[in-house]
Amino acid sequence: MKVLRFDDAGYSDFVSELDRQAMPGTDLYETVAAIVNEVKQRGNQAVFEYTSKFDKLDLTEETMFVSEAELAEAEAQVEDSVKEAVAASKRNVHSFAKLSMRQDWTSTNAEGAQVGERFVPYDRVGVYVPGGKAPLVSTALMTAAIGQAVGVKDILAATPAGPDGKVNPSLLYALKESGATQIIKVGGAQAIAAMALGTQTVKPVEKIFGPGNSFVVEAKRQLVGAVSIDLLPGPSEVLVIADDSANPAFVAADLLAQAEHGGDSVVGFATPSESLLEKVKVELEKQLAQLSRADYIRQVLDAGTFVLITKDLEEAVNICNVFAPEHLSLIVENEDAWLDKVKTAGAIYVGNYAAVAVGDFLAGPSHTLPTGGSGKSFSGIRADQFQRRTSIVRMDKASVQKSEKYVAEFARVEGLDAHGASVSIRANS
């Protein structure tokens, strides 16, 4: 664990490097561009070759789709307790999504024209559910179920299968419950390209949602234009900001939970309290000894974890605003005042009892959140991203007459006579 105090040499350099930009390195860019291009040129053939190379699975035009029989088998296998957990999560995700959907509105502008916005669900979207390291059952809910709540009819899900051609049954069950209408056993950049561009058997989608590893995220970035995307949700991150009001055992538990996401995830802890840090360290060792993936977690704690002893809380919050962590856990006295100062974090968990893991699985907001610094310009998945938006203008003769003189000015300075004429012909009719 890298620990730096505000007056250490190297502290300010380290802090300035936390100001990240979510842009790919050249190698990643080129690897993904080649995959996208191959899928564009050769469709399924390329998809199958990459699946064979990266996932050690040979697919055909038939077996690339999860069949009804496989879905039924999954449903039979999944324990009732898992089904109850999926239902509980779906209930919260749906009610959060309904509250956050955009509503149609109309108003009148200064010249008396009726103006408004209209929102309708997309017809066909794609969701990516990562499957490389862990079967992210909850990610089905945190992507597809939001589209389902909004009323998207066609939801194509992509997730990599194992070399035996099987997808985790709980994940299949959750995808079906979350409104997925078709599931392909394809992962990585090739899955994103297939959904965006279409293949001989995959009908293209209008928009792509969901997290993934660096190949998946970069493919989404490159395919903007063919489709729109939700955001750039890559390897998971947490920043904990805490003072002496924090329970050290809870802080340690959240740091360990985050480290469990694996080698590419980021774990950060910023506190002005050295005594809290000492207590958290003791707790980390104590709790780590109890965990099944202790070796794996220790690697992340050693290599991917940083601790900053800041001058004060103000500085910790400023660091958060520059770093834009995917998750912020804010455990401080006077929490509302500090909360007001946080501008950039994908999701904020306030207080000792707000465990990040409840947000991962159950709370209601999507756990699909911006990472790698992209939180400075993107938000997490929201219901309104599943809504296509358009504007409406309706006018009568009186409003066109009132608009005419201003339109004439714009038409004159832009040199667009026909524009001016199309309004005056109506105003003077």
Ligand X SMILES: NC(=O)c1ccc[n+]([C@@H]2O[C@H](COP(=O)([O-])OP(=O)(O)OC[C@H]3O[C@@H](n4cnc5c(N)ncnc54)[C@H](O)[C@@H]3O)[C@@H](O)[C@H]2O)c1
The DSSP secondary-structure symbol of 162 reads P
135 binds ligand X per the rule CB under 6 A: no
- Smallest gap from Cβ 37 to ligand X, in A, equals 14
Contact residue for ligand X among 24, 43, 126, 131 (CB under 6 A): 131
The values of phi and psi at residue 116, to 5°, are -170, 180
Known binding residues are: 128, 190, 213, 236, 258, 261, 327, 360, 414, 419
Of the residues 121, 187, 272, 375, which one makes contact with ligand X according to CB under 6 A: 187
- For the bound state, the minimum distance from the C-beta of residue 374 to ligand X, rounded and expressed in Å, comes to 9
In the complex with ligand X, the residue whose CB is nearer, 131 or 248, is: 131
Nearest-angstrom CA–CA distance, 338 and 116? 37
Site string for Zn ion, 14-33 (x = CB under 5 A): --------------------
Q: Does 55 interact with ligand X (rule: CB under 6 A)?
A: yes
Given a contact cutoff of 8 angstroms between Cβ atoms, the answer to whether 214 and 24 are in contact is yes
Residue 367 is a catalytic residue: no
First-last CA distance in the chain: 77
Q: Quick check: 325 binds ligand X (CB under 6 A)?
A: no
The yes or no reply on residue 360 touching Zn ion (CB under 5 A) is yes
Site for ligand X in 235-264 (CB under 6 A): 235-236, 261, 264
Q: Give min distance, CB of 292 to ligand X, in A.
A: 18
Considering only residues 43, 126, 147, 211, which one is a binding residue for ligand X as defined by CB under 6 A? 211
360 binds, among ligand X, Zn ion, none (CB under 5 to 8 A by kind): Zn ion
Number of residues engaging Zn ion in binding (CB under 5 A): 1
> In the window 350-409, what residues touch ligand X (CB under 6 A)?
367-369, 371
Place of tokens 């794609």: 126
Distance CA 193, CA 220 (A): 8
Stretch (H or E) spanning 411 = helix 397-414
For residue 299, what are the contacts with CB-CB under 8 A and spacing of at least 6? 263
- The catalytic position among 177, 283, 326, 367 is 326
| 326 is known as an active-site residue | yes
Residue 160 sits in the site that holds ligand X (CB under 6 A): yes
Which of ligand X, Zn ion, none interacts with 212 (beta carbon under 5 to 8 A by kind)? ligand X
- The angle at the Cα of 198, spanning 389 to 22, to the nearest 5 degrees, equals 65
> Do residues 158 and 126 make contact, with C-beta atoms less than 8 angstroms apart?
yes
Stretch near ligand X under the rule CB under 6 A, chosen from 92-100, 146-154, 181-189, 290-298: 181-189
213 CB-side CA count, 13 A: 19
CA distances from 423 to 1, 28, 131 (A): 68, 52, 57
> Which residues neighbour 217 within 8 Å (Cβ) at sequence distance 6 or greater?
211, 232, 233, 234, 372
Task: List the one residue out of 29, 254, 225, 262 whose CA is nearest residue 130.
Answer: 262
Query: What residues are annotated to the active site?
Result: 326-327
- Chain residues in the site for ligand X (CB under 6 A): 31, 54-55, 130-133, 136, 139, 160, 187-189, 211-213, 215-216, 233-236, 261, 264-265, 326, 367-369, 371
